[in-house]
Amino acid sequence: MTVIEEQRDEFIRLTTPLRRELLTHCYRMLGSLQDAEDLVQETYLRAWRAYGEFEGRASLRTWLYRIATNACLNALRHGSRRVLPAGLGAPATDPIASTARHPEIAWLEPIPDERADPAAIVSGRAGLRLALIAALQHLPAQQRTVLILRDVLAWSAEESADVLGVSPAAVHSALKRARARLERLAPAIDEITEPPEQEQRDLLDRYAAAFERADIPALTRLLTEDAVWQMPPNPAWFAGRDHVIALLTARLHGRPVRLLPLRANGQPGFASYAAGRAYGVQVLTLRGSAIAEVTAFHDASLVARFGLPSRIEHPSTPM
pLDDT digits (tens, 9 = 90+) for 56-112: 778 899 999 999 999 999 999 988 889 999 999 999 999 886 667 787 899 999 999
3-class DSSP assignment, residue 11: helix
**Residue 127 amino acid letter:** G
Which pLDDT score is estimated for 208?
Answer: 97
| Omega prior to 168 cis, within 30 of 0 | no
- Of the chain, the end-to-end C-alpha distance in Å amounts to 57
Taking residues 279-299, report their average pLDDT.
Answer: 95
Predicted confidence band at 55 (pLDDT cuts at 50, 70, 90)?
A: confident
pLDDT digits (tens, 9 = 90+) for 105-135: 999 999 999 999 998 887 555 689 999 999 9
Work out the percent of the chain whose per-residue pLDDT is above 70.
93
pLDDT digits (tens, 9 = 90+) for 179-203: 999 988 887 666 667 788 899 999 9
C-beta of residue 290 within 8 angstroms of C-beta of residue 226: no
Predicted confidence band at 254 (pLDDT cuts at 50, 70, 90)?
A: low
- Domains of the chain plus CATH, in order, are 1-79 (1.10.1740.10), 197-305 (3.10.450.50)
What is the residue-wise DSSP string for 159-201? HHHHHHTS-HHHHHHHHHHHHHHHHHHSTTGGG--PPPHHHHH
Taking residues 297-314, report their average pLDDT.
Answer: 92
C-beta of residue 168 within 8 angstroms of C-beta of residue 157: yes
Neighbours of 59 (CB within 10 A): 9
CA-closest candidate to residue 21, choices 35, 40, 38: 40
Which pLDDT score is estimated for 125?
Answer: 57
- HSE-up (13 A, CA, CB side) for residue 33: 20
Which pLDDT score is estimated for 5?
Answer: 85
Check pLDDT > 80 for residue 314: no
3-class DSSP assignment, residue 153: coil
CA-closest candidate to residue 225, choices 292, 284, 294, 282: 292
pTM here is 0.92
